[in-house]
């Protein structure tokens, strides 16, 4: 049950509501985000919602039977739009694009990528500075210095930055240089990291776990929201399956379902979703029609020389072609599907 | 290795080629289809292909290192087009639609469906008369009598029939009433059935196994082709995964990859691919953009009363809406993508 | 609901029971096996079982809410024992062993294997004469002639034969030479084959599908039982998973659960369960302690030269060692666990 | 390549070896553990190992082509034994048992559990004080205060403690109260946590990821070892599969393979491996025969009232029975299998 509280509630009013919901047998969790205050009440007893709904200080009350609450569309029917500043938005029907290399490697690589993005009208650059790698002996990224350099350059171009954070202790150092914190597939259920990101007023893109369920993804998003941060994007990046003809199985079903279950934007990662460069375009477009609100993909000035994920990284030519088609599909969907 | 033979080869010429390829250490399999004659030679030795290629009676020779041979795009670069007669084709870029109920139930149900298809310009009707059911106590279909009735009605409307065949012994009885034989996901590796369908001059739609690999699907298609029947469609219908939010995981990756590995048409089954009515449209459109050449989906005059698969069956209204969007996407792809 | 009927029921008595159960809203399925007659009644209404239980001709009545009925332990509490004749039994706590090559290859190979089995006191020989192969160009087995030769030799040694049947039309020819019909993992849901095996009075070993659920396996067994054949063994042979370090994932959980859900004997196939020779022994013993009533594994005079499955086939030395350990474990379980 | 260095090497000798291996085109990683010093050299060039092996300060040199190095059995043939102090060891062939509740709940619950363990001769108690929970609204454990209380009591009984650590920042506070740090299945690839545990001189039990591969598990162990901590146990706890009849699929194949690939002890967790109380014993014994060196399972004074994992927790009676059978099997294996 979600009790949406009025702004500027007095402590006394808040306590009265908490006491009453507790008397009904519910365990209240007070959630204060950038935007509002909520009581998430966990319990099972039946009662007339108006007994709470009519109280002073209650804006609205909703029954949500899902295992996740605040991220559910059951209480917030309209899709969430995330404002990155400077007029850059993640918004339903607009297909935001986030593109860039797997790893940040050098100033030259960053500049070339920014040039490409600028030319294509892409407003968000992806790249890794802390890289989760299966082997301890692999390249693990340029770290905070790489991020600072990247941020300086990106701001020159007016382009936003999304990059992965791997543990809570990195957040403070990274904060000033990052526009979107990305949580990787290996950390979807790193609950301490999620808790920490809940306390940050910056958007978070949360990837689905390597074999994570849709329900687990939504509950992990609930950690961030209930920690205080409403600005969350969900990301489908393929799941692990028995099939060996490609890297991961892009789960377009999950995109369609996430869009219905949650009000949060859903971003598709076709690079990891199939893991083979030549098919990234097809999977990107398929994801869009399954309902994705945006794309995140890997592109690099010289894909075959990338430090990591070379086999799934697009050339700039392929990236331009994909961008063109994304725009055509988005336009078609806008003109023809929505207004039907 | 595939040796494409000239038509009307003399027995003596054929034997010479067979002897020579055998001397090179290859085991020859002579394949005679509706359209041509091939020698599929299995072996590993290296030799100069021109030593065979230059022989009398040899049209062409191709090295194919895949586990499947005749269905590979490595020797036949152009996509296969399947002619169902009366101007009805399965053809790349055209998105053939096959729609209808899970099970054929009654004359009234058949007529209503045919009316709907006719109105939407859909030329192929799907429906089951032999139903593979997990439980022996479930409805198993109307059998051959249902098929005969259906065929009579469908011909009135000029609409083609696709239906599932479950074992070799049914083929003969079904032959006159069927336009496409469907092999279901539980029979993808029923090799006796595949052998038998290889001897039939009628198109076959071969579904991927419930947890079948892409490679296994192509090798199963190779059974049919090497048995003598070139008219095969591959069908992606979702794979089994750990996710329980839906019925199967639609594998759009497989669509993209099958289109590249094989010259055969690829059909998507979004009904089984997600198993929930409200998402079938999204998954159908996603499949199209992943590269599918056609769709097969379930629709019924009263979906909620269908004898089987009710929860994934579209109403006629939903089917009309899907058809409209399929046409818009197909048009867009034709105008904007191909000619880029 | 299972209504166990008295033997030698008159047609009139039978009809009365059928009419009554039908009046209660149940759909009756009359099942006549080698051993007894049952009415499997499918329905949901609640009524006092004694209204049927007290009727003339009714031996017993049981509510079974599982999707499978006659194979459920809910109505038959005691484990089924299967008599192969000549004192050879498949029986709980005795660990029957079935060993032999993947494929029957030659008289010499058969004789050497029989010698090994005889020396070890193994009473059942496995081997394939019809081989389901992914590729149409692979060796497909010696067929019926191989079976006849094998049967002649096996009878000399007093050893029983288990071999795979791939389609209904083979049953008649094979019948006289086979002691147990095996249904392979690709045919677990080949319902026509299951129907046909239901009409045969010979034991059937039914393998779990490549990605089959426990429930599907039990429902497939129900096909055979409800077709008239009670002598069924269930076989766990590993499931398909994402892990590539081995061939299949041996599902010991399934063994433990099948033993509780069903009264049928459960046989483990460690050869396919892991697919790598050096680990077959460990997995065989693990399966035993998970509850298996028997083992089926691959052994060959010269494993590395086997026509098929070479990498998972034991040498006779390894087979002897495994047999010795199986006996020690079986003894321990008998002495120490059962009597605890 | 692993270069095992002599103890008390001078900095000059070390540098000479590093320079030489670098000249051969290898990237050296210097690893200093509680027990020894190693150079793990990553590269591909071929050269005569004696050129390094013969250098002053080199104890031994080994080629290891696996993706993991120091945890591989290729350079350390003998199984690792882990000494917990006070004569308590994790050792091949001895089956160490770690038992206790999912969550530490109260002093009374701890005492009752310790009494049970003491009575059964079980020397290690498991329990959670930081609980990773899918939902932010679930009970998340008693935290550090619970741990302190538990440690005080456990020491009274002379029983060791294993408990889960969820992030690096918890290590310091927990250090004095913990005998084995457990890394949970959601953190197997939390590389920052693994790095931090590499710097700690205390044993670590590393669980396999929810859908982790065997190779990933070994590479994660490599993080800990290469960080400086050799005292690692690997834990198989079941993998996620499509099967819904139980919670996870216990992968006994992985146990057998881990024992061959790595010198580290392998512990089986049958509670999570099947997730249903009545089958835990079967799966525990099966795991032992697959090769496990120890067991970790859940037991509670009142399983049905446990705060978490109630459905998979053994009663003390069941735990005693399991212990008895484990000892019988261990004895049998010792007497009969090893000396064969």
Over residues D91-103, the mean pLDDT reads: 96
Question: How many contacts does B have with D, using Cβ atoms within 8 A?
Answer: 8
Please give the helix or strand (H or E) that residue C296 lies within, else none.
strand C294-298
Average pLDDT, chain A: 96
Residue C38 has pLDDT above 50, yes or no: yes
Chain C contact partners (≥3 CB pairs within 8 A):
A, B, D
Mutate to test the interface with B, among C26, C31, C132, C136 (most CBs of B within 10 A): C136
| Chain C residue closest in CA terms to B239 | C211
Q: What are the residues facing C162 on neighbouring strands?
A: C126, C180
- The verdict on a CB contact (< 8 Å) between B240 and D244 is no
Spatial neighbors of A51 by CB under 8 A, at least 6 apart, are: A20, A24
Q: Min CA distance, D16 vs chain C (Å)?
A: 39
Ranges for all domains in chain D classified under CATH 3.20.20.70? 82-338
Over residues A15-23, the mean pLDDT reads: 96
Residue C336 has pLDDT above 80, yes or no: no
Q: What pLDDT does B333 receive?
A: 83
Residue B338 has pLDDT above 60, yes or no: no
Q: What percentage of chain B reaches a pLDDT higher than 90?
A: 94
Residue B339 has pLDDT above 60, yes or no: no
Ranges for all domains in chain B classified under CATH 3.20.20.70? 82-337
Average pLDDT, chain B: 96
The Cα A293–Cα C336 span in angstroms is 63
Report yes or no on whether pTM surpasses 0.90: yes
Q: Which residues of C touch A247 (CB under 8 A)?
A: none
Chain B touched by D211 (CB under 8 Å): yes
Per-residue DSSP letters for C25-85? T-EEEEEE-SS-EEEEEE------THHHHTSTTEEEEE---SS--TTBTTT--SPP-EEEE
Residue C293 has pLDDT above 90, yes or no: yes
The pLDDT confidence band at residue C338, using thresholds 50, 70 and 90, is low
As to burial, measured by CB atoms within 10 angstroms (0-12 exposed, 13-18 middle, 19+ buried), residue A79 is middle
As to burial, measured by CB atoms within 10 angstroms (0-12 exposed, 13-18 middle, 19+ buried), residue D116 is buried
Token digits of residue B169: 């012994």
Q: Which residues of D touch B211 (CB under 8 A)?
A: 242
Q: What percentage of chain A reaches a pLDDT higher than 70?
A: 99
The Cα A112–Cα A118 span in angstroms is 10
Q: Min CA distance, B276 vs chain D (Å)?
A: 18
Q: Min CA distance, D43 vs chain A (Å)?
A: 11
Token digits of residue C32: 């006549």
Per-residue DSSP letters for C71-129? TBTTT--SPP-EEEETTEEE-TTS-EEEEE-SB---HHHHHHHHHHHHHHT--EEE-BS
Pairing of strands C58-62, C2-5: antiparallel
- The verdict on a CB contact (< 8 Å) between D332 and C332 is yes
Q: Which residues of D touch A215 (CB under 8 A)?
A: 134
Over residues A58-86, the mean pLDDT reads: 96
Over residues C222-227, the mean pLDDT reads: 98
Residue A333 has pLDDT above 90, yes or no: no
Q: Which residues of B touch D211 (CB under 8 A)?
A: 242
- The verdict on a CB contact (< 8 Å) between A211 and D27 is no
The pLDDT confidence band at residue C335, using thresholds 50, 70 and 90, is confident
Q: Min CA distance, A245 vs chain D (Å)?
A: 17
Q: What pLDDT does A338 receive?
A: 53
Chain A contact partners (≥3 CB pairs within 8 A):
B, C, D
The Cα D226–Cα D240 span in angstroms is 29
Mutate to test the interface with B, among C133, C185, C191 (most CBs of B within 10 A): C191
- The verdict on a CB contact (< 8 Å) between B286 and A252 is yes
Q: What percentage of chain A reaches a pLDDT higher than 90?
A: 94
Question: How many contacts does C have with D, using Cβ atoms within 8 A?
Answer: 129
Chain A touched by C211 (CB under 8 Å): yes
Q: Min CA distance, D309 vs chain A (Å)?
A: 17
Q: Which residues of C touch B195 (CB under 8 A)?
A: 136
Q: From 3.40.50.720, 3.40.50.300, 3.20.20.70, 2.170.120.20, which CATH number describes the D82-338 domain?
A: 3.20.20.70
D316: alpha, beta or left? (left if phi > 0; alpha if psi -120 to 50): alpha
Token digits of residue B286: 């996603």
Sheet holding B2-5, edge to edge: B27-32, B37-42, B2-5, B58-62
Q: Which residues of C touch D288 (CB under 8 A)?
A: 289
Instruction: Among A45-49, B80-84, C195-199, D194-198, name the one with the lowest average pLDDT.
Output: A45-49
The Cα B215–Cα B228 span in angstroms is 20
Ranges for all domains in chain C classified under CATH 3.30.70.1140? 2-62
Q: Which residues of D touch B240 (CB under 8 A)?
A: 242
Closest partner residue to B242 (CB to CB) among A211, A253, A278 is: A211
Closest partner residue to A210 (CB to CB) among D134, D192, D211 is: D211
Please give the helix or strand (H or E) that residue C255 lies within, else none.
helix C252-261
Q: What are the residues facing A180 on neighbouring strands?
A: A162
Q: Which residues of A touch B214 (CB under 8 A)?
A: 243, 245
Over residues B105-114, the pLDDT tens digits come to: 999 999 999 9
Q: Which residues of C touch A241 (CB under 8 A)?
A: 242
Token digits of residue B294: 């056609």
The Cα D38–Cα D198 span in angstroms is 14
Helix (H, G, I), strand (E, B) or coil at B65: coil
Q: Min CA distance, C31 vs chain B (Å)?
A: 11
Half-sphere exposure of A57 (CA within 13 A, CB side): 15
Closest partner residue to C289 (CB to CB) among D255, D289, D291 is: D289
Token digits of residue C13: 């008595």
Over residues D101-118, the mean pLDDT reads: 98
Q: Which residues of A touch B236 (CB under 8 A)?
A: none
* Helical pair C252-261 and D277-290, crossing angle rounded to 10 deg: 140
* Helical pair A107-120 and A316-332, crossing angle rounded to 10 deg: 30
The vertex-B185 CA angle with B183 and B190, nearest 5°, equals: 65
Q: What pLDDT does C163 receive?
A: 98
Instruction: Among A221-230, A328-337, C306-315, D167-176, name the one with the lowest average pLDDT.
Output: A328-337
Taking only residues 23 to 52 of chain C, the set having a beta carbon closer than 8 angstroms to any beta carbon of chain B reads 27, 29, 40, 42
- The verdict on a CB contact (< 8 Å) between D40 and A137 is yes
- The verdict on a CB contact (< 8 Å) between A240 and C244 is no
Over residues B73-89, the mean pLDDT reads: 96
Over residues C77-103, the mean pLDDT reads: 96
Residue C153 has pLDDT above 80, yes or no: yes
Going by CATH, does the domain composed of C2-62 fall within 3.30.70.1140?
yes
DSSP state of D47: -
The Cα D249–Cα B335 span in angstroms is 50
SS3 sequence, chain A?
CEEEECCCCCHHHHHHHHHHHHHCCCEEEEEECCCCEEEEEECCCCCCCHHHHCCCCEEEEECCCCCCCCCECCCCCCCCCEEEECCEEECCCCCEEEEECCECCCHHHHHHHHHHHHHHCCCEEECECCCCCCCCCCCCCCHHHHHHHHHHHHHHHCCEEEEECCCHHHHHHHHHHCCEEEECHHHCCCHHHHHHHHCCCCCEEEECCCCCCHHHHHHHHHHHHHHCCCCEEEEECCECCCCCCCCCECEHHHHHHHHHHECCCEEECHHHHHCCHHHHHHHHHHHHHHCCCEEEEEECCCHHHCCCCHHHCECHHHHHHHHHHHHHHHHHHHHHHHCC
CA B67 from chain centre, in angstroms, equals 19
Q: Min CA distance, A33 vs chain D (Å)?
A: 15
Q: What pLDDT does D339 receive?
A: 43
Query: Under CATH, what is the fold of the domain B82-337?
Result: TIM Barrel (3.20.20)
Closest partner residue to A167 (CB to CB) among D133, D137, D168 is: D168
Q: Which residues of D touch C238 (CB under 8 A)?
A: 253
- The verdict on a CB contact (< 8 Å) between A241 and C242 is yes
Half-sphere exposure of B150 (CA within 13 A, CB side): 31
Phi and psi angles of residue C209, each rounded to the nearest 5 degrees, phi first: -65, 160
Closest partner residue to D252 (CB to CB) among C239, C252, C291 is: C252
The pLDDT confidence band at residue B337, using thresholds 50, 70 and 90, is confident
Closest partner residue to A215 (CB to CB) among B213, B245, B328 is: B245
Over residues A218-243, the mean pLDDT reads: 98
Closest partner residue to B136 (CB to CB) among C27, C136, C226 is: C226
- CB-CB neighbours of D320 under 10 Å: 16
Token digits of residue C206: 């039914």
Q: Min CA distance, C122 vs chain D (Å)?
A: 20
Q: Min CA distance, A253 vs chain B (Å)?
A: 6
Q: Min CA distance, D167 vs chain A (Å)?
A: 7
Q: What pLDDT does A340 receive?
A: 43
Q: What burial letters (b/e) apply to B113-123, b meaning 16+ CB within 10 Å?
A: bbebbeebebb
Chain D contact partners (≥3 CB pairs within 8 A):
A, B, C
- The verdict on a CB contact (< 8 Å) between D253 and C273 is yes
Spatial neighbors of A293 by CB under 8 A, at least 6 apart, are: A79, A90, A91, A92, A93, A94, A95, A96, A233, A259, A265, A266, A267
The vertex-D219 CA angle with D239 and B254, nearest 5°, equals: 55
Taking only residues 213 to 272 of chain B, the set having a beta carbon closer than 8 angstroms to any beta carbon of chain D reads 240-242, 244
Q: Which residues of B touch A251 (CB under 8 A)?
A: 241, 243, 249
Q: What percentage of chain D reaches a pLDDT higher than 90?
A: 94
Over residues B237-280, the pLDDT tens digits come to: 999 999 999 999 999 999 999 999 999 999 999 999 999 999 99
Q: Min CA distance, D170 vs chain C (Å)?
A: 32
Q: What pLDDT does A108 receive?
A: 98
Q: What pLDDT does C309 receive?
A: 87
* Nearest CA-CA partner of B127 in B155, B105, B103: B103
Spatial neighbors of A156 by CB under 8 A, at least 6 apart, are: A114
**Predicted ipTM of the assembly:** 0.96
């Amino acid at each position: 049950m979600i009790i949406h509280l009025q702004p500027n509630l007095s402590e006394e009013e808040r306590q009265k509501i908490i006491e009453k919901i507790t008397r009904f047998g519910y365990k209240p969790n007070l959630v204060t985000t950038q935007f509002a205050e909520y009581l998430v009440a966990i319990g099972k007893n039946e009662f007339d919602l108006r007994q709470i709904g009519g109280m002073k200080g209650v804006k609205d009350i909703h029954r949500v039977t899902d295992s996740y609450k605040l991220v559910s569309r059951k209480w917030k029917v309209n899709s969430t739009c995330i404002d990155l500043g400077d007029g850059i938005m993640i918004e339903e029907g607009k297909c935001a694009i986030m593109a860039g290399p797997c790893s940040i490697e050098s100033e030259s690589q960053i500049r070339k990528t920014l040039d490409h993005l600028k030319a294509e009208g892409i407003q968000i650059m992806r790249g890794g500075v802390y890289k989760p790698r299966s082997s301890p002996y692999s390249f693990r990224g340029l770290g905070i210095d790489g991020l600072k350099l990247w941020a300086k350059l990106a701001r020159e171009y007016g382009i936003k930055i999304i990059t992965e954070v791997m543990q809570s202790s990195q957040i403070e150092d990274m904060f000033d240089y990052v526009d979107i914190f990305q949580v990787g597939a290996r950390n979807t259920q790193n609950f301490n990291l999620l808790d920490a990101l809940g306390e940050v007023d910056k958007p978070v893109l949360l990837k689905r776990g390597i074999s994570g369920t849709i329900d687990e993804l939504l509950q992990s998003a609930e950690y961030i929201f209930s920690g205080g941060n409403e600005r969350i994007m969900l990301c489908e990046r393929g799941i692990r399956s028995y099939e060996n003809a490609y890297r991961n199985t892009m789960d377009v079903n999950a995109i369609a379902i996430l869009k219905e279950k949650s009000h949060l934007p859903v971003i598709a990662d076709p690079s990891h979703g199939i893991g083979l460069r030549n098919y990234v375009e097809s999977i990107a477009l398929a994801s869009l029609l399954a309902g994705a609100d945006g794309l995140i993909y890997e592109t690099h000035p010289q894909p075959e020389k990338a430090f990591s994920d070379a086999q799934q990284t697009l050339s700039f030519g392929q990236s331009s072609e994909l961008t063109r088609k994304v725009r055509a599909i988005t336009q078609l969907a806008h003109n023809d599907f929505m207004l039907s």
